[in-house]
Amino acid sequence: MNDVLDRDQLARLVAADIAPGSYVNLGIGQPTKVSDHLTDEQGVTLHTENGMLGMGPAAAEDEIDGDLINAGKIPVTEQAGASYFHHADSFAMMRGGHLDVCVLGAFQVSAAGDLANWSTGAPGAIPAVGGAMDLAIGAKDVFVMMSLFAKDGSPKIVPELSYPATGLGCVTRVYTDHGVFLIQREGEESHVVLREAYGLSVAEIQERLEVSVVDGSGS
Amino acid sequence: MAVEIAPSTTEAVAGIGDGATVLMGGFGNAGQAHELIDALLDSGATDLTVVSNNAGQGDAGLALLVKERRVAKVICSFPRQSDSWHFDEAYRGGEIELELVPQGNLAERLRAAGAGIGAFFTPTGYGTTLAEGKETRTIDGRNYVLEHPLRGDVALIKGLAADEQGNLIYRKTARNFGPVMAAAAHRTVAQVEQILPAGDLDPENIITPGIYVDVITQVSTASGEAAQKEGRLR
C-alpha cells in the first residue's frame, strides 16, 4: 500500500496534473505550495485576483514592495511578461472562463462537487468571503486540496454540505492525503472516482466515506 | 468639467458631507489612499457608508475612521483580518453595519455603476447565504443571481501619476479598485505622487481617462520613491 501523502507530496501531485501552458490561480494556504513544484518547462502563468498575471515567487527581504502583493497580501515578485489589471477585469477573467485551473482549500466537498470553504457558520464569527465564491466558479477546473478526514475523524467528502456553501457543483477534483478523487458529472448525475489510494486501501476509504466511491485505481 | 488640482489633501476632500457613501480604493494597504482618508478623518465627516475591499487594517487609513466611529456601514468582501481590530471591536459592539459582498461581485457592481448598467446576472454566490432573497435566473442551463450597481458620492483613490487633464496611471497591484471606483463615483478624488503637464503621460498607457477624475492632489509616498528607482517617474 502507498504511504499517506504529506502536504509537499500532495502539492507535487497537483502541480504534475496541471497542463503545460495553463493559467492558474492558487488559493491562500496549502494551495500556494503548488507553485514550488511547477517546472519552468510547464510554462504555467499564475493569476492573483488582486490584479496580476505572471506572478513570481514571494519577495525576498530586499525585494519587498508594498504595491506588489498577492491575494493573501504577501509581497511577491513579477515574472517576465507579467501584466496588471483592475479588479473588475481580474474577476471577469475568472467568471468568463479564461482561467484553466483554480486550486483551493476546503472544509467540505459534497459528492455533487459543492464546495464549502468560506465560513464554518460558527455563531459570533465575523464573516469574510473575499474572492472565495468567485474562485469557486471561476475556472474550467476547480481542484481542492484538503485532508480527507477532519480532526475528529469525520470525512470531509460528504453526501451534503453541513457547512455554508461557497459554490454549487463546481469542484472537479479533490486532492487529499489519502488519494485523489475525481468528481465526474454526467447531466444531473455525478460520480466520485478514487484515482489512487494512499495510507488506506480503496475498500477502507469506501467504508469510511458516506458517499459512494468508484474504484478508479486500476484505470 | 476640467479637473481641479487641490493644493492639499484637506482641500481635496472638502465638501464630503455626513452620511456620504465613500468608495475607497485599495486591496489591503496597496492602493489605499491613506492620506486622503486621514484628511477625511480630520474633516469630521461622520455617519459614512464606506465601500472598500477590506474594513481597514492596523492603525492607519480606514481603520482609524472606523476606530473613531465615523463609519455607519461598511460594504466589503473581507473585513476580518489578523490586524482588523478596530473593525472587529465596532462590529462586535453592534456599532457598525456590514454588507458582505463577494470580491468579484463588489468589483462588478462598481463597474456596472460606472457603466450605466441597471443590474446584472452573475453566477458568483448562487446557492449561498450571500444570495438569499435575491432574484435568480437560469440562463442556458447555468444559474445566476441578480446584483445591482454600487454608486458612490465620492471615491478616494491612489494613482502613481496624473497629468493636468486628470488622466491617471497606477503602480503594480495597487491599481486594484482604482479604475472602477473612479467611474462609479459622482466625484472622484485621486492622490498621486506627481502631477505632470498634459502630454507627459503616453496617451496609449493611460489607465483611467481624466473624464472620470474630478480632483487630484499631490502626495508623496513610498510608491513614488519606488517608481523613481525603477525609472518610471523622474
Band (B130; pLDDT cuts 50, 70, 90): very high
Mean pLDDT of A116-138: 92
- The DSSP call for residue A177 is T
Instruction: State yes or no: ipTM above 0.90.
Output: yes
> What per-residue confidence (pLDDT) applies to A217?
85
Question: Using a CB-CB distance cutoff of 8 angstroms, which residues of chain B are in contact with residue A67?
Answer: 30-31, 171-174, 223, 226
Band (A218; pLDDT cuts 50, 70, 90): confident
Which H/E stretch holds residue B197?
none
- CA count, 13 A, side-chain hemisphere, A52: 28
Distances (CA, A) of B186 to A131, B155, B167: 27, 8, 17
Residue ranges of alpha helices (H) inside B68-126 are: 85-92, 103-115
**Chain A residue whose CA is closest to B54:** A130
Distance from CA of A196 to the nearest CA of B (A): 31
Say if the Cβ atoms of A95 and B128 lie within 8 Å. no
The amino acid occupying position A97 is: G
Band (A219; pLDDT cuts 50, 70, 90): low
Place of cell 461622520: B46
Band (A187; pLDDT cuts 50, 70, 90): confident
- Write B197-200 long-range contacts (CB < 8 A, 24+): B197/B163, B197/B164, B198/B163, B198/B164, B198/B165, B199/B163, B200/B163
Q: Specify whether A210 is catalytic.
A: no
A–B: how many Cβ contacts below 8 A?
147
Model confidence pLDDT, tens digit, residues A7-44: 999 999 999 999 999 999 999 889 999 999 999 999 99
Question: Using a CB-CB distance cutoff of 8 angstroms, which residues of chain B are in contact with residue A99?
Answer: none
Say if the Cβ atoms of B103 and A138 lie within 8 Å. no
Question: Using a CB-CB distance cutoff of 8 angstroms, which residues of chain B are in contact with residue A78?
Answer: 172
Catalytic member of A41, A49, A61, A210: A49
The amino acid occupying position A16 is: A
Mean pLDDT of B13-37: 96
- Please check the confidence at residue A1 and state whether its pLDDT lies above 80: no
Burial letters for B7-38: b for 16+ Cβ neighbours within 10 Å, e otherwise? eebeebbeebeeebbbbbbbbbbbbbbbbbbb
Model confidence pLDDT, tens digit, residues A140-169: 999 999 999 999 999 999 999 999 999 999
Residues in chain A whose Cβ is within 8 Å of chain B? 48-52, 65-70, 73, 78, 84-88, 90-92, 94-95, 114, 125-134, 137-138, 164-168
> What per-residue confidence (pLDDT) applies to B231?
95
Name all domains of chain A by residue range, CATH numbers in brackets.
7-44+97-215 (3.40.1080.10)
> What per-residue confidence (pLDDT) applies to A177?
97
Say if the Cβ atoms of B126 and A94 lie within 8 Å. no
Distances (CA, A) of A28 to A74, A88, A104, A185: 10, 20, 7, 27
- Please check the confidence at residue B230 and state whether its pLDDT lies above 80: yes
Say if the Cβ atoms of A85 and B143 lie within 8 Å. no
Distance from CA of A162 to the nearest CA of B (A): 12
d(CA B130, CA B184): 23
Which H/E stretch holds residue B34?
helix B34-43
How much is the mean pLDDT over chain B? 97
Which H/E stretch holds residue A104?
strand A101-105
Helix (H, G, I), strand (E, B) or coil at B120: strand
CA angle A57, A61, A65 (to 5 degrees): 70
Label residue A194 left, alpha or beta by phi (over 0 means left) and psi (-120 to 50 means alpha): beta
Mean pLDDT of B2-28: 97
Model confidence pLDDT, tens digit, residues A75-97: 999 999 999 999 999 999 999 99
Could you give the percent of chain B with pLDDT greater than 70?
Answer: 100
- Please check the confidence at residue B109 and state whether its pLDDT lies above 70: yes
Model confidence pLDDT, tens digit, residues B171-217: 999 999 999 999 999 999 999 999 999 999 999 999 999 999 999 99
Instruction: List B190's β-bridge partners, or say none.
Output: B157, B216
Question: Using a CB-CB distance cutoff of 8 angstroms, which residues of chain B are in contact with residue A123?
Answer: none
Candidates A47, A50, A166: best to mutate against B (most CBs of B within 10 A) is A50
CATH number assigned to the domain comprising residue B14: 3.40.1080.10
**Chain B residue whose CA is closest to A53:** B173
> What per-residue confidence (pLDDT) applies to B209?
98
Domain count for chain B? 1
Candidates A49, A117, A134: best to mutate against B (most CBs of B within 10 A) is A134
CB B192 within 8 A of CB A85: no
Model confidence pLDDT, tens digit, residues B54-107: 999 999 999 999 999 999 999 999 999 889 999 999 999 999 999 999 999 999
What cell numbers appear for A133 in the block? 465564491
